[in-house]
A and B are shown apart, each in its own frame.
Chain A
């Protein structure tokens, strides 16, 4: 039985954690190959010792970057090696490329997997659908492509195998011409790792007022998040602050939603928070149904009072 893991080198390290679950739950011997989408110049020691059988990498180009290139490379490897599972990160490039490959190979995809349950001879992959309100437990009846939300598994050595690095030729894709590639501005915002998040929504009256949230976040050593309208429509904050289904999914100890109504798409991004506090003027705002503690009131009145008391408690002048 063979498994293929696809991703950048970092993903290949992290997803070895998923591979090891498969290996532990399988009665047969499992060999795990990987496809690095980036060229490998020198075998990195942290990857070499994990136990991969072969790691394929592009030889004639720096990286595989068009959906069709990636789809064709994976299809080709699948046809040669008959993998039972192909595992990759659940990010946009892999979602689309492997959907294309999945159609070629006539196999299903389970995206956004956040949990793997292993039973004898089968695996159940769990993902959350319907704006976070339904868990879908999916068991492949045969081969499948599994896309895993990053940050779920810790990588580690899963076998004693010695890894060989295998260069492969990638065909040129002339149908998809990348004219320009712009990195998104990346500040010090790491919402996925934050313990405390102060999140802002439409209840704020102006871009300028967001500094109230930033001050509060500084005080609590937290970070500032936001709902869709603030990042996507008003553009008061860069997208890296956006929390929700198409933004980031967060899991802080404390999530304080200020002036956020709580659309299902936003809720889907905060499900794993430990404690959720909501402040909103509208007593019927759906956010209250998804909060542990709610205050019905004006956030402009809440923030100064809350900051003042927090300062007392933390002994900050």
Chain B
């Protein structure tokens, strides 16, 4: 029995920069990171391991290019997943995975999961921090024909079944699900650990395989969407109110709020 933890190598939105003339995000130059919520998924995989699972696979597909530049960066990030406790890492990357859409990504991930023996649970974050579309886990479940449950904040494992608590907008559901299953988790499920120096060293010896999508027998994807990115210009005034003490600062603030028309004085 094995667990696959999906790891998105996401754009680090904290480091976004924009082309000064076009104001388009310079995505090729922005570092990647392990998507935050996928760290929670991996942590949960490590916790579930105690129930008799033999291996945790960290599985990733590289979508952000350029390929030549990203391939080493992607491997470094997957070493981090290994340091956190994954037993083996797999990176699907070639020219076809770059900028591929979620239909293709789900097919490729599912095809790889089929090639790993006896996968009972696939874990992933509820969304990735860059595009936040929450689609991949359900799409992967559909490809594999696995059970699926999303937005989970607690998992209980019991003889080939899981009981989960999932968080929807206006209610919470407790759901029982047969395995194999794909489960997406929220950040509330746990607090991801930080790797120790020992673990970082040990990670260098763990297997990290790079697979091409063509080796998985996949056809290059057909484009389904035309997409155009534009930076959001911050139109905020960014005025820091100075003053000799808080009282003066507050008075100045209130004057401004009145002239903005958001506070209306009574006469």
Residue ranges of A at the interface with B (Cβ–Cβ < 8 Å): 67-68, 71, 91-93, 95-97, 99-104, 106-112, 128-142, 144, 175-184, 186, 196, 220, 232, 245-246, 253-254, 264-265, 271, 274-277, 283, 288-298, 301-302, 305-306, 309-310, 313-315
Residues of A within 8 A of B227 (CB): 136-139
Closest to A305 in B: B250
A99/B225 contact (C-beta < 8 A), A177-B177, A179-B174, A309-B250 known: no
B133 CB, min distance to chain A CBs, angstroms: 5
Q: Is there an interface contact between A177 and B16, defined as CB atoms closer than 8 Å?
A: no
Residue ranges of B at the interface with A (Cβ–Cβ < 8 Å): 11, 13-14, 16, 25, 101-103, 106, 126-127, 129-139, 141-143, 147-151, 163, 168-178, 184, 186-188, 223-232, 234, 236-241, 246-247, 249-251, 253-254, 256-258, 260, 262-263, 265-266
Give the complex CA separation of A176 and B231 in angstroms.
Answer: 41
A107 CB, min distance to chain B CBs, angstroms: 7
Q: Is there an interface contact between B13 and A292, defined as CB atoms closer than 8 Å?
A: no
Give the complex CA separation of A107 and B158 in angstroms.
Answer: 36
Task: Give 13 CB contacts A-B under 8 Å.
Answer: A91-B169, A92-B150, A95-B135, A100-B139, A141-B225, A144-B225, A176-B177, A177-B176, A186-B170, A254-B262, A254-B263, A294-B238, A309-B250
B34 CB, min distance to chain A CBs, angstroms: 16
B252 CB, min distance to chain A CBs, angstroms: 9
Q: Is there an interface contact between B253 and A295, defined as CB atoms closer than 8 Å?
A: yes
Q: Is there an interface contact between A176 and B149, defined as CB atoms closer than 8 Å?
A: yes
Closest to B228 in A: A137
Residues of B within 8 A of A276 (CB): 236
Residues of B within 8 A of A68 (CB): 148
A4 CB, min distance to chain B CBs, angstroms: 18
Give the complex CA separation of A297 and B260 in angstroms.
Answer: 22
Give the complex CA separation of A95 and B254 in angstroms.
Answer: 42
Q: Which of B129, B132, B171, B263 has its CB near the most chain A CB atoms (within 10 A)?
A: B132
Our pick among A101, A109, A134, A196 for the contact of B102 (Cβ within 8 Å) is A109
Give the complex CA separation of A172 and B9 in angstroms.
Answer: 37
Q: Is there an interface contact between B175 and A292, defined as CB atoms closer than 8 Å?
A: no
Residues of A within 8 A of B129 (CB): 131, 265
Closest to B175 in A: A178
B87 CB, min distance to chain A CBs, angstroms: 28
Closest to B191 in A: A233
A289/B250 contact (C-beta < 8 A), A180-B173, A181-B173, A183-B170 known: no
Q: Is there an interface contact between B250 and A140, defined as CB atoms closer than 8 Å?
A: no
Give the complex CA separation of A314 and B240 in angstroms.
Answer: 25
Q: Is there an interface contact between A93 and B234, defined as CB atoms closer than 8 Å?
A: no
Give the complex CA separation of A107 and B225 in angstroms.
Answer: 10
Q: Is there an interface contact between A184 and B172, defined as CB atoms closer than 8 Å?
A: yes
